[in-house]
């Protein structure tokens, strides 16, 4: 065999080896892209248990909306073995937040008992990576809801009362600039802690006209009203209930529905806060940063 023949043979072998390596790489990448929802949920659970940032799953997986909700369900199923469901939440309920994450619809998540706080708590900021504060309205379920409701009138009959609410989501993703709506869904819409004020009967209160504000000292941090959530509180609740049923959950008496932020969400920094709602009362709380 001459030198040119040997070189040609080596070149062919090299190309074959490169092709095989590339093929194996595709297989590995394909396995990553085709990861099962349970595997992706396990990554979220491990990050939470180890105090690491929330993984941006869409960076390594083919994560569409349906798959994202399957990941969320697997995540929730694992947690509820030790932490019962306290309610459900709507997120991305304003056009501005939808545009920010490249989406055109709201999203839903699950609230856990471990995240519930009464009025006046101290919130440990070190338990969050990117603590946010959202002023919201909560509707308290009075009758079991096991199938989709057909009208707002039917929904109203299932609600026993209303509460002022503060949601404290954690947006501590590995890279917030790369987060898509599907990542938010999979990560249970960043649900972490929440604060509920005193429950009152619905009566003739117009939830859309409720004005809510958040203050720290004399500084106004945010201001909004009930209609900020999808344009109508009852429309938001209707969507959230049917979305919850669609994804295989049922609603039980005493669980709360958080319908979305009134006004802008603000970063949770150490300090004392007071939120007020016209017709619903107020909630006070303090965010503390323990010394290392």
Instruction: Give 292's pLDDT tier (boundaries 50, 70, 90).
Output: low
Q: How far apart are CA 225 and CA 239, in angstroms?
A: 19
DSSP codes joined into one string, 62-87: ---HHHHHHHHHHHHHHHTTTS-EEE
pTM over 0.75: yes
DSSP codes joined into one string, 19-63: HHHHHHHHHHHHHHHT--HHHHHHHHHHHHHHTPPBP-GGGTS--
CATH of 84-288 given 3.90.850.10, 3.40.630.30, 3.20.20.70, 3.30.1490.20? 3.90.850.10
DSSP codes joined into one string, 188-205: GGG--EEEE---B--TT-
Structure confidence by residue, pLDDT tens digits, 118-160: 989 999 999 999 999 999 999 999 999 999 999 999 999 999 9
Q: Is the dihedral of CA 201, 145, 283, 227 positive or negative?
A: negative
Structure confidence by residue, pLDDT tens digits, 74-103: 999 999 999 999 999 999 888 778 787 778
Sheet holding 219-225, edge to edge: 122-124, 281-288, 271-277, 211-216, 219-225
Structure confidence by residue, pLDDT tens digits, 264-283: 999 999 999 999 999 999 99
Q: Specify the DSSP class assigned to residue 287.
A: E
Q: How far apart are CA 268 and CA 276, in angstroms?
A: 17
Q: How far apart are CA 8 and CA 16, in angstroms?
A: 12
Question: What's the rounded mean pLDDT across residues 227-231?
Answer: 95
Q: What are the structure tokens assigned to 160, written together?
A: 């026993």
Would you kindly state where each structural domain of the chain is located, as residue ranges? 84-288
Strand pairing category for 85-91 and 256-258:
parallel
Does 15 have pLDDT greater than 70? no
8 Å CB contact between 40 and 186: yes
Q: Specify the DSSP class assigned to residue 174.
A: S
Based on the number of CB atoms within 10 Å of its own CB, is 45 exposed (0-12), middle (13-18) or buried (19 or more)? middle
Does 69 have pLDDT greater than 80? yes
Q: Is the dihedral of CA 15, 19, 20, 25 positive or negative?
A: positive
Tokens 């300090």 sit at which residue? 271
End-to-end CA distance of the chain: 72
Q: How far apart are CA 93 and CA 230, in angstroms?
A: 5
Does 38 have pLDDT greater than 90? yes
What is the average pLDDT score of the chain? 89
């Amino acid at each position: 065999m001459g030198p040119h023949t040997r070189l040609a043979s080596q070149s062919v072998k090299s190309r074959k080896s490169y092709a095989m390596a590339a093929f194996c790489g595709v297989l590995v990448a394909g396995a990553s892209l085709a990861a099962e929802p349970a595997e992706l949920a396990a990554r979220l659970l491990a990050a939470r248990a180890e105090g690491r940032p929330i993984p941006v799953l869409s960076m390594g997986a083919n994560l569409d909306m349906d798959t994202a909700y399957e990941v969320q369900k697997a995540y929730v199923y694992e947690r509820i073995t030790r932490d019962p469901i306290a309610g459900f939440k709507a997120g991305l309920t304003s056009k501005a937040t939808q545009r920010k994450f490249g989406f055109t619809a709201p999203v839903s998540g699950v609230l856990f008992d471990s995240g519930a706080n009464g009025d006046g708590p101290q919130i440990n900021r070190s338990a969050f990576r990117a603590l946010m504060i959202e002023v919201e309205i909560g509707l308290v379920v009075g009758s079991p809801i096991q199938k989709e409701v057909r009208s707002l009138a039917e929904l109203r009959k299932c609600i026993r009362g209303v509460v002022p609410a503060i949601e404290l989501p954690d947006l501590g993703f590995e890279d917030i600039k790369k987060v898509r709506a599907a990542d938010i869904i999979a990560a249970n819409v960043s649900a972490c802690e929440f604060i509920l004020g005193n429950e009152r009967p619905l009566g003739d209160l117009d939830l859309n006209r409720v004005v809510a504000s958040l203050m720290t000292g004399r500084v106004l941090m945010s201001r909004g009203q009930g209609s900020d959530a999808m344009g109508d509180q009852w429309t938001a609740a209707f969507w959230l209930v049917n979305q919850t049923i669609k994804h295989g959950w049922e609603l039980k008496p005493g669980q709360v529905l958080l319908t979305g932020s009134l006004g802008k969400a603000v970063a949770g920094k150490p300090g004392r806060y007071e939120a007020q709602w016209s017709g619903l009362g107020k909630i006070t709380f303090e965010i503390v940063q323990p010394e290392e």
